[in-house]
Amino acid sequence: MFHSAEPFFRPKTVAIVGASESGGAGWPRAIYQNLEFANFPAEVYLINPRREELWGRKVYPDFASLPEQIDLALTIIPAEFIPDVLKEGTDNGLKSALIYAARFGEGGDDVGAKRADQLRDLCDETGLVVCGPNCMGAMSFPSNSLFYPATRIRGLPVGSTGVVFQSGGTFMFWLQRAAERGLGFSYAVSSGNELNLDLADYINFLVDDDDTKMIACMVEGIRRPDAFIEAARRALEAKKPVVMIKVGRSDAGKEAAQSHTGALASDDTVLEAVCHKYGVIRCHSLDEMMETCLVLNQRRWPKGPNIGMAGFSGGGKGLFLDYSADEGAAIGRLSDETVALIDPIIDPGLSGQNPIDCGAGIAYRQKDYSKVCKIMAADDGVDIIAMQGQLPTTADDPTDATIFSNVFDATDKPVIAYVRVSQNVSPAGLAFQNETKVPFVQGLPQTVRALQGLVRYTDAMNKGVTPLLEADGDKADLEGEAFETLLNVNGLTPPASGFGATPEEAAKAAASMGFPVVLKIVSPQASHKTEVGGVALNLDDEVSVIAAAEEMTTRLHAVDPDAEVEGFLVQEMVSGTEVIIGVREDPQFGPFMVVGLGGILVEAMRDVSFRMLPVGDVDAREMLDELRGKAILGAFRGSAPRDIDALVKAMCGLSEIFARHRNHLADLEVNPIIVGAEGEGLRAVDVRPVWR
């Protein structure tokens, strides 16, 4: 499933192909100087058929003339020459190549696309692994191997963050800013077009690397979803967080589909469900990704979601609460004993209950502030400690780093400092942050989102990944009475129903069932019955049933004169809250579930939540809790709470049915499900399978 990035990231021999003073906008010289600066961590050879000596070194005409085989070729030559040069390289034992050049099919270039096909064939035939084309290079920081065509990378610090960027232009900019914020790096790669080595391969390599504890990615597209999912699973199992910003989150990628489930599921919403399952932390901005990495770099995993916040600004406290509400963050409650200890320390008239505004005076009593935070950290009601702070701009700033480090040392819970407004971080500020042992997260929105990322990652890590059931279901179980039994067993109880091939037969079925009833037309041309007027509610007698059946037949034939009417479904009239549950197979990422409020209006309301299958009890309850309108499932405006347990059972049951039978089904939707009051159960009013 994975290509090995080992010879690319850890080469013992390197060849600079196209070595010259002026070629490639000076890139060969810059790369050589970087390797020279690093005291040549690998044996370096120069290749150029037009030179004999360069930079005091012998220059070879080709791979065949080299004294040994090459692990990595840095190709800084025009695109049209690269396939032949690399073919000559593989004939002489070349293992990997880094291709900086473009013109390999970008923008619909047919000639370049053929060139790319040549390289793919070469990789398949020889086992050559390629980074790029159209990329900005890579760095292996533990060995100080700097395969990047600029000298400014030399000051980047060694650390435990692996970096994979599909955007070459943003790559170095982010690394520099992240270094200024306190991150250090193990490996970093600008992956370019990913003709061979791709995002999944790089993540897989970093998961196995002892120097890497966290992985940061900027992603424009996922070329091999199965491999990406497996790499993400391995990262979660290894407790190495993957933090990702994804380019292109709009609805432009939404596919046309035959169901509400498909219409609601854009590429990005399904990817979000994948990330949730495998603990990949999505970020909205490059800044947020930086701050989130700093928080995760502490490698303290909270035992729960509850944040304890202390500061000395009422406005800052209010904003923190606003952003927490936006993100669904939990604010912990302190015990009465803890509050009693805090109250005498903070400014008079203020409350020691979390979140704590200590008052402006405590800003000048730093030891008291530290004491308050330590008391809060010891309380079982909080799992994460967030302290207001500010980084100094000069080395002579009087702020005492032990105010923060004492809190860090007093607990095993995550401790962060939040800066209300982002500041430029000076070398003195970075040194202070290192001394405190805690990250100073820049900006309140970034703080809350970074902490939520920490909570979600820890939750995913603790839950692990439940594998999918085998798709070994029998198609016969999805037909007739067997299907009704399967639905019933899995909590998807249908309403009492009957069938009539004609309006008159439908009326007799309704009379035997008892009024009021619902009538639905049955036709292959009426997939969405409401859209063709194929549903009638609250019919009180046989005459009403016959009239409704005739009217909906007329309406359907007005839309499609050739439509076939197979008959009419009669169902008991059920009242309650309308919900949709749908499961379907995403062509890239596999089966997922959507749940939403609104029934037939769900696409207009778009109050939905997604998860990848399998969906268990905890997942189902999380999904319902994510709905904006979840209040209507509770005791809303005098109505009784809905039967959540029955709804959760139905969601889990639908997940299992589809997982078992996805060898036959492309889509299985229940819309609406009518959820009754607590203890009354539900009715799966309209179940619609779509066959593969």
Binning pLDDT at 50, 70 and 90, where does residue 250 land? low
Q: Is pLDDT above 70 for 453?
A: yes
What pLDDT band is residue 136 in, cutting at 50, 70 and 90? very high
**What percent of the chain has a predicted confidence (pLDDT) above 90?**
84
Measured N-to-C along each axis, helices 402-409 and 427-436 cross at an angle, to the nearest 10 degrees, of 30
Q: Residue 684: its pLDDT value, please?
A: 94
Using CA atoms, how far apart are residues 365 and 607, in angstroms rounded to an integer? Answer: 48
Amino acid 24: pLDDT = 65
The pLDDT confidence band at residue 533, using thresholds 50, 70 and 90, is confident
Contact 399, 390 (CB under 8 A): yes
pLDDT given at position 669: 94
Give the mean model confidence (pLDDT) for residues 652-656. 98
By DSSP bridging, strand 43-47 and strand 57-60 are: parallel
pLDDT at 254: 38
Q: Which residues are CB-contacts of 432 (< 8 A; sequence separation ≥ 6)?
A: 391, 392, 397, 399, 401
Mean per-residue pLDDT, 475-480: 93
As a whole number, mean pLDDT of residues 49-59 equals 95
Q: Tell me the pLDDT band of 577, cut-offs 50, 70 and 90.
A: very high
Whole-angstrom CA distances from 526 to 263, 534, 564 are 17, 7, 9
Q: Does the pLDDT at position 279 exceed 80?
A: yes
Kindly report the three-state secondary structure assignment for every residue of 554-571. HHHHHHCCCCCCCEEEEE
Of 475, 522, 467, 470, the closest CA to residue 692 belongs to 475
Q: What phi and psi values does residue 95 have, to the nearest 5 degrees?
A: -105, -35
145-176 residue pLDDT tens: 999 998 888 889 999 999 999 988 899 999 99
Question: According to the model, what pLDDT value does residue 152 have?
Answer: 85
pLDDT for position 266: 53
Q: Residues 616-626: pLDDT tens digits?
A: 999 999 999 99
Judge contact between 647 and 637, C-beta under 8 A.
no
Report the alpha-carbon distance of residue 162 to residue 183 in Å, rounded: 10
- The 10s digit of each residue's pLDDT in 299-357 is 999 999 999 999 999 999 999 999 999 999 999 999 999 999 999 999 999 999 999 99
Which of these, 218, 221, 217, 224, lies nearest to 203 by C-alpha position? 217
Specify the range with the lowest mean pLDDT, choosing from 100-109, 215-224, 430-439, 477-486: 100-109
Interval 187-238: pLDDT, tens? 999 999 999 999 999 999 999 999 999 999 999 989 999 999 999 999 999 9
Domains of the chain with CATH codes: 6-292 (3.40.50.261), 300-463 (3.40.50.261), 496-572 (3.30.1490.20), 577-691 (3.30.470.20)
Q: What is the mean pLDDT of residues 38-65?
A: 95
Global model pTM greater than 0.85: yes
Over 70: is that where the pLDDT of 263 sits?
no
Predicted local confidence at residue 345, as pLDDT: 96
pLDDT value at position 253? 36
pLDDT tens profile 329-339: 999 999 999 99
Task: Name the token pair of 41.
Answer: 């961590």
Confidence class of residue 257 from pLDDT cuts 50, 70 and 90? very low
Per-residue pLDDT band for 256 (boundaries 50, 70, 90) equals: very low
pLDDT at residue 28, as a whole number: 94
Question: Quick one: average pLDDT of 578-597?
Answer: 94
Of the pLDDT bands very low, low, confident and very high (cuts 50, 70, 90), residue 473 is very high
Q: How many residues does the chain have?
A: 692
Pick 257 or 105 by higher pLDDT: 105
Q: What type of residue is 314?
A: G
